[in-house]
């Protein structure tokens, strides 16, 4: 039997005695959408429905076990970002549902049904509903230092995860480099202003290579 190595976790202790993880985010690539695992148990985005076997293989390739995923967050509820959430809930993961995503979780259901894919709908009744203001305190209970912010220029329910280690997971947000080509898109400019005010070091996209921020 293959031995799956546990990833080392560097910790930092706050003045209050609380601890949080200071490790780099792990990218899981098993389809068209990048998923990201943050030590502390959080998976961000899950790809399309019907990709569970490929997801298991990606976990193993990165030295992870399924039981390490205790929470899941979708950057938004387009079908290529949330297709496995229902199955992960059945395996014990808790869904984090920020305030802007209430009412969006079933938006892709008809697409998965149309495509005839194995899909277990999200159980919204078991979701952990939080406001953006509460997100930092909530993530700290997982040992994760960061916050969830609304970045609605892509879709009304889009969110980004900003970690204090400098990683920023933005889903399908249009790259900052495209701002000059979207002069009339004030929402996109506002989203990037909010993100840059958090002093990110690395932008992690769902469908593009990561971008290092030079200062």
Pairing of strands 34-38, 26-29: antiparallel
* CB-based contacts of 122, cutoff 8 Å, min separation 6: 82, 85, 86, 89, 95, 105, 106
Question: For the CA atoms of 157, 59, 203, 184, what is the dihedral angle to 10 degrees?
Answer: -30
pLDDT digits (tens, 9 = 90+) for 64-86: 999 999 999 999 999 999 999 99
The residue whose two tokens read 């031995």 is 3
Q: Quickly state the pLDDT bin for 21 (edges 50, 70, 90).
A: very low
**Average pLDDT estimate for 165-185:** 89
Closest C-alpha among 99, 44, 106, 94 to residue 74? 44
Report whether 108 contacts 157 (CB < 8 A): no
- Judge residue 120's burial from the number of C-beta atoms within 10 Å of its C-beta, 0-12 exposed, 13-18 middle, 19 or more buried: middle
d(CA 131, CA 198): 18
d(CA 73, CA 71): 7
**Average pLDDT estimate for 121-125:** 96
**Average pLDDT estimate for 189-212:** 96
Eight-state DSSP code of residue 30 = S
pLDDT of residue 167: 97
Q: Quickly state the pLDDT bin for 215 (edges 50, 70, 90).
A: low
pLDDT digits (tens, 9 = 90+) for 133-161: 999 999 999 999 999 999 999 999 999 99
Question: In whole numbers, what is the pLDDT of the chain averaged over residues?
Answer: 89
Q: How far is CA 1 from the centre of its chain?
A: 31
pLDDT of residue 177: 85
Using the predicted structure, report yes or no on whether residue 12 has a pLDDT greater than 60. no
pLDDT of residue 180: 79
pLDDT digits (tens, 9 = 90+) for 81-115: 999 999 999 999 999 999 999 999 999 999 999 99
pLDDT of residue 169: 98
d(CA 62, CA 169): 19
Domain boundaries, the chain: 11-150
pTM beyond 0.85: the answer is: yes
Which residues are registered as beta bridge partners of 26? 37
d(CA 44, CA 75): 7
pLDDT of residue 185: 85
Report whether 155 contacts 76 (CB < 8 A): yes
């Amino acid at each position: 039997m293959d031995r799956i190595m546990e990833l080392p976790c560097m910790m930092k202790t706050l003045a209050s005695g609380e601890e949080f993880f200071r490790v780099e985010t792990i990218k899981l690539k098993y389809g068209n959408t990048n998923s990201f695992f943050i030590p502390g148990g959080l998976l961000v985005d899950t790809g399309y429905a019907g990709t569970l076997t490929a997801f298991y293989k990606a976990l193993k390739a990165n030295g992870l076990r399924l039981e390490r995923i205790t929470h899941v967050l979708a950057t938004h509820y387009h079908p290529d970002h949330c297709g496995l959430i229902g199955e992960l809930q059945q395996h014990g993961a808790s869904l984090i549902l920020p305030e802007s995503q209430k009412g969006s979780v079933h938006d892709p259901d008809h697409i998965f049904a149309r495509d005839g894919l194995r899909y277990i709908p999200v159980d919204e009744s078991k979701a952990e509903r939080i406001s953006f203001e509460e997100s930092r305190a909530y993530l700290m209970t997982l040992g994760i230092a960061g916050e969830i912010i609304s970045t609605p220029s892509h879709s009304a329910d889009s969110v980004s995860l900003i970690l204090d280690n400098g990683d920023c997971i933005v889903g399908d947000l249009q790259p900052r480099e495209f701002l000059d080509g979207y002069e009339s898109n004030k929402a996109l400019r506002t989203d990037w202003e909010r993100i840059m005010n958090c002093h990110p070091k690395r932008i992690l996209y769902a469908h593009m290579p990561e971008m290092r921020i030079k200062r």
